[in-house]
Amino acid sequence: MNRKALFLASIIVVVGTFFSPWGTGHAQAPKQILSIEAYDMLNTVPATYLIDVRTRAEYQFVGHPINAYLFPYMFFSPEFAKREETYEYQFSVKNKSFVEEIGKVFKKTDNLLILCREGSRSRLAAKELIDAGFKNVFDVEDGFEGALFPFFQDSNRNKFYRQLAKRYKIYGFDHRRRYGWQYWGLPWTYEIDPKYVYPPDLSPPKK
């Protein structure tokens, strides 16, 4: 190979590396997986950990996967308001220490499986961890309870079929567990092991 060809080849390699999702120029996006895939990874891939980013109340009263670490991404606020067609307490307080607390427990090369109720918070949390330099982050997209039924990626189609389901009072309409950790029948519990509790909650209160 002559010098000119060698020079061009080296340029291609450098440019390809920079613009590649695996290169140092750009952070890699978290990979989306289903709960059943997450469970398989926990049982077969070393240094793999499941992180539940729901609130403390969800973790305790709705239940959680066995051996799931609790690191809330958002906290409930006292605000009660209408969202779309329903009234609910709002998630409006973001956990500003989320990434910092994760970094105290896990290595940036660990396989971190991020799970919430149905995939909305886990997607944000996984992206934030990737941006902070964690290398192997997976978004468990169907979550613990799964999306409301019926669910479609197309928002217009989603709205249309929801209206039909509501009009005809379809059994299970507006309920979850149509996908998610519970839907797959994967092991979960209400019992809380302090080993997996959000670390700041284990610290004695300051006097």
Spatial contact of 93 and 74, defined as CB atoms under 8 Å apart: yes
- Among residues of the chain, what percentage have pLDDT more than 90? 59
Give the per-residue pLDDT at 172.
76
Q: Does the pLDDT at position 10 exceed 50?
A: no
Give the per-residue pLDDT at 173.
77
Give how far Cα 18 sits from Cα of 13, 14, 22, 92, Å. Answer: 9, 6, 8, 37
Tens-digit pLDDT profile for residues 157-178? 878 878 888 888 887 777 777 7
Q: Does the pLDDT at position 26 exceed 80?
A: no
Residue 200 CB partners (closer than 8 Å, separation 6+): 97, 101
The mean pLDDT value for 24-46 works out to: 87
Tens-digit pLDDT profile for residues 42-93? 999 999 999 999 999 999 999 999 999 999 999 987 788 887 777 887 767 8
The mean pLDDT value for 113-120 works out to: 96
Give the per-residue pLDDT at 21.
38
Q: What is the mean pLDDT of the chain?
A: 85
Pairing of strands 188-189, 31-33: unpaired
